[in-house]
Structure 1
Amino acid sequence: MVDRGLLYKEWKQHFWIFLVVFAAVMLSEPLALLNDYFQYQGCLADQKKFPDLECVFYKDYEMSGTMKMFWVGGIALALSQIGFERSRGTLDFTLGLPYRRGVIFNTKYFFGISILLTAQLLSYLLSYALIMLYKIDVIHFHEYFIGSVIFCFMVYSLVMAAGTMTGNPLAQLIVAFSTSILPYLLIGLPLANLQIILHFFGNDSALFYHEPDFLNYIAPIMYLDGFGIHNGSLAITLIPLAMGILFYIIGYFCFIRQQIERNGHFFLWGKMDRPIQILVILFGIGGFGTASGSSLSSYIFGMLIGSAVGFLISYFLIFKKIKQL
């Protein structure tokens, strides 16, 4: 459910960030195509002086990185709508209005995702018009636009969900990034340490030699380098779509259930501080141990360094309140 009054408030409150993100997402790909076209025209001009110069005008979107920047707009919007608004104290004011929390969250989410999707649709139409006008030879254009929209939806949902759990923008970013690599931290890192320990005892089991392939499908960050539906790989599109819906549900549940605002603290729910600190220390132990696993002594030394680093990072990030804007 979305409220029109809240939509107007959201528009007035975040007008400039909405405008900047909308323009950046909409114009990024058409401007990239125009830049390629002008470079091609310059190459043709130089070809008159240097006949051996070869000029080719085509674009393979599987190798191009321009559309992959759409997700940056999703991060900027989610940070503005949750993290910075909470940091400035304006979110407390919004929560004090006579609206249910579910309506507030849905209004924010609907408005943000509408900005992103509309800008991407216009970017697609403008880009396709330039392709037809200048007769550009493109590969995987339609597939990668579909993939970019879904990937941006997943990233926006993830950062919004992170914002409903955290008390400042830095914490929102850290939680979102940590979630994007969480499968590797929970599964891949222990397997890597187990492989090293078995190696020390002369047991190089092939079972633990490689990370499971399914980690590449359930880790959100992996889709940054490979989205689209070409080559019949529907999973590369459907899985991030499902994860985006899941992140929305998590964000909605956390937003309506969180009753106490802890502005400046890392987590809104204070009981999460200690368990997350323990996890960070364990990740530090496992990560530094794996990086230093050339010998048993260096492995143990790396684990000790990792425990100290994990403790210090978790202490200063989680237990130190950040000053509000």
Structure 2
Amino acid sequence: MRSKTSSFNKEIIKQDFRNVGWISIVYFLGLFFIVPMQLFMVLSREEPIITDDRGLFGQVFAFELQVLFLLVMPLLMAVFLFRYLHVKGASNFAHSFPMRRGKLFNHHIFSGIILLLLPILLNYLILLIASGVTDVTEYYTITNASYWLWLFVTMSFLIFIAGVFVGTLTGLSAVQGILTYILLFLPAGLYALTSFHLSTYIKGYSADMVLESSFQYFSPLADLLQFGGYGPDQVKVPVEVIALLIYGLVAVAFYAVSLWLYKNRSIESAGRALAVSALNPVFTFGVTFCFALFGGMYFTVSQYAYTWMIAGYFIGGTFGFAAATMLLEKTWRVFNWKHLKRWSGYGLAVAILVAIIPLLWQNYESYVPAQSEVEKVYISGGYWQYRELTNQDIEIPYITSEEAIQSSLDLHEQLIEISNPLSRGEDYFFFVYQLEDGSEIYRQYRVDEEVVREEKKAVYETKEYKKIKYPVLGLESSDVNQLVIHPNAAPGEEELYDPEKISAFMEVLKQDIHQLSYEQMMAPQGLSSGVSFTLDGMQENPYHLQIYPSFENTVEWMKREGFYEKMMIQAEDIQHAEVYKWPEDRDFPHDYDHYVYNRLKEDNVKPLEVSESDQIVKLLNGQENQESGNYIVAFYFDERNENHYNLLSFDEGDAPNFIKEHFE
């Protein structure tokens, strides 16, 4: 009996319940009002509430508020349960008990786990009872509720044990709370900072794709927060099964290390920022390194220059070193010769590491697969276009012909030659290679259009690339429920439901797209109208596009159907136009027409006012999306709304004579 008594001390458990039981009560009430109470309220409504198939993880049950309690309450439990470790008197008293340290530690861990599990289990029990007495299948299933239980139990245990682990490393409760979140975010943060760092040095490296595809896997907190009830439609749960199993194993590892640290922790470490003095250099270096990368990122994003990036490394690293030193020594008086020498050492180590990381990727930068290795290739204007197709589970329109693949490789090689990772060019390229061995290669570049004009033209005028740029080429008219044409600068729209008319329109539209030249694709003439498609009752899809007056077959078909004048902008739709001389000696960070036009307006440059119908007709032959030219034309449709306008531009040779004469 004596050994049993010593192995389990009820008084310690009772004391823990008295000290931190309020956290368990708040946890229960928070989850109860967000989940079971919300269920009772929606069941009592006469009109059903709109639900989704995410069940307890959806918007009906405010999953983002559930996550708030999940992130906060387990950490509070760890902080308050082990508060005695950070107060010298309390620490001495607790460790004066006739009980081994390991057993005392396990008693507190047992108390914390029980107090965290009870609120979750009670709410789960309420959900089970509700499902047994009424039909709740519109809101959740038993499987969905069981997964909710598993998720909250695992994540609560992980955050609690992570908090305990940090509590054994530090002697300050405030530092414990902050460092726990930093610890759980640290892998993802370092991953993001390193990815950005690589993207500024390595040609072709796509930080967007890397972070989007795997960022959440480096932090359980990022995994939870990235879902938030609003993730992609195919994602039904915030954390995948494999990830939950891994988080459980990580929590067990945290427990084992925490137990060892607790047993070997010095009682005198209470009140110190780090209880283990041997970790001081590691902590200082880590903070210095992270702040150096953050400083480099901040100044790079704001200035896009390597000199400012290096300055950011220096400023960020200096700030990080000073902050870490102040925290460890608990004083701001760290600006002396001793710390200057230490700062130099840490700064040199950080600089070497920052410089070495990109060198490890040199082969990545220069690699272009041989044509014989490539099965197919996809090229788009950025990663997000590719992501949209994959998220909507749409078949990727790859380039497969040998000639088109070779043109793509030629473009890729030229981009490697002339691209600069810090380029502020407006032209984006994203490559996806499917190789014969089944592997995939991703590259992304950003340059000015003119520097790769010929290589780009060779790719863009292929039929296969046009299927990428204009997904409607891969759409069958039989799949379309509704087709809507709407002018972009005037009210009204034309809706087509007749399958024969839809088929006829898509036939002439595809003819016009196949006939487009590179120049027409990049800078089409005239003001456009939009076309959108509804498939299976859904309007959200990538098949929308713009049609222009240069689409001859489409225009003729619209005229025959009798709605061309309403659906395409006519001269009589325009209230007046303003023509500006495109400034020759300009010092603008951007050259696209909207940016230049706004700068001219801000500088109060006087334009040529045009209101005569015959002159406006000539102005409608201008080009969209120009990044250079001689004249900019702004079309206004309502004198009461100066913000409602469209822009076209002219080169010197294409401009109407009355414009040239005015600006001579």
TM-score normalised to the size of structure 1?
A: 0.81
Unpaired segments ≥5 residues, structure 2: 229-234, 332-664
Aligned residue among 306, 315, 324 for 2:316: 306
Aligned residue among 178, 185, 196 for 1:174: 178
Aligned residue among 20, 31, 34 for 2:33: 31
Quick one: which amino acid aligns to residue 169 of structure 2?
A: M
Q: 1:71 to 1:123 in 2, by over 3 A?
A: farther
2:104 corresponds in structure 1 to: 104
Q: 2:287–2:324: 8 Å Cα contact kept in structure 1?
A: yes
Q: Deviations along 1:67-107, whole A, 9 cap, x unmatched?
A: 43234221111101213552363232111222211111111
2:49 corresponds in structure 1 to: 56
Unpaired segments ≥5 residues, structure 1: 45-53
- TM-superposed CA distance for 1:125, in Å, is 0.5
State, as a whole percentage, how many aligned pairs show the same letter.
18
1:189 corresponds in structure 2 to: 193
Which shows bigger deviation, 253-262 or 206-215?
A: 206-215
- TM-superposed CA distance for 1:205, in Å, is 3.9
Q: 1:94 to 1:22 in 2, by over 3 A?
A: same
Distance in 2 of aligned mates of 1:213 and 1:95? 48
Quick one: which amino acid aligns to residue 157 of structure 1?
A: I
Q: 1:182 to 1:231 in 2, by over 3 A?
A: closer
- TM-superposed CA distance for 1:108, in Å, is 0.9
Secondary structure, counterpart of 1:65 in structure 2 = helix
Distance in 2 of aligned mates of 1:266 and 1:254? 15
1:138 corresponds in structure 2 to: 139
Distance in 2 of aligned mates of 1:104 and 1:25? 25
- TM-superposed CA distance for 1:246, in Å, is 1.0
Between Structure 1 and Structure 2, how many residues are aligned?
Answer: 305
Aligned residue among 252, 255, 258 for 1:251: 258
Q: 2:23–2:77: 8 Å Cα contact kept in structure 1?
A: yes
- TM-superposed CA distance for 1:127, in Å, is 3.0
1:22 corresponds in structure 2 to: 24
2:152 corresponds in structure 1 to: 148
2:271 corresponds in structure 1 to: 264
1:287 corresponds in structure 2 to: 294
Secondary structure, counterpart of 1:261 in structure 2 = helix
Q: Deviations along 1:113-142, whole A, 9 cap, x unmatched?
A: 111112211121123334544543323332
Which shows bigger deviation, 189-198 or 104-113?
A: 189-198
What RMSD in Å do the two structures reach over aligned CA positions? 3.1
TM-score normalised to the size of structure 2?
A: 0.42
- TM-superposed CA distance for 1:156, in Å, is 0.7
**Which structure's relative contact order is higher, taking Cα pairs within 8 Å and 6+ residues apart?**
1
Distance in 2 of aligned mates of 1:242 and 1:306? 35
Q: 1:40–1:57: 8 Å Cα contact kept in structure 2?
A: no
Q: 1:131 to 1:319 in 2, by over 3 A?
A: farther
- TM-superposed CA distance for 1:265, in Å, is 0.9
Secondary structure, counterpart of 2:322 in structure 1 = helix
1:12 corresponds in structure 2 to: 15
Secondary structure, counterpart of 1:210 in structure 2 = helix
Secondary structure, counterpart of 2:210 in structure 1 = coil
Q: 1:37 to 1:88 in 2, by over 3 A?
A: farther
Distance in 1 of aligned mates of 2:207 and 2:28? 47
Distance in 2 of aligned mates of 1:232 and 1:280? 29
Q: Deviations along 1:265-294, whole A, 9 cap, x unmatched?
A: 111122322331121011100112112212
- TM-superposed CA distance for 1:231, in Å, is 10
Greater per-residue helix proportion: 1
2:247 corresponds in structure 1 to: 240
- TM-superposed CA distance for 1:309, in Å, is 2.3
- In our comparison, the structure showing a higher alpha carbon Rg is 2
Which shows bigger deviation, 219-228 or 139-148?
A: 219-228
Distance in 2 of aligned mates of 1:23 and 1:242? 28
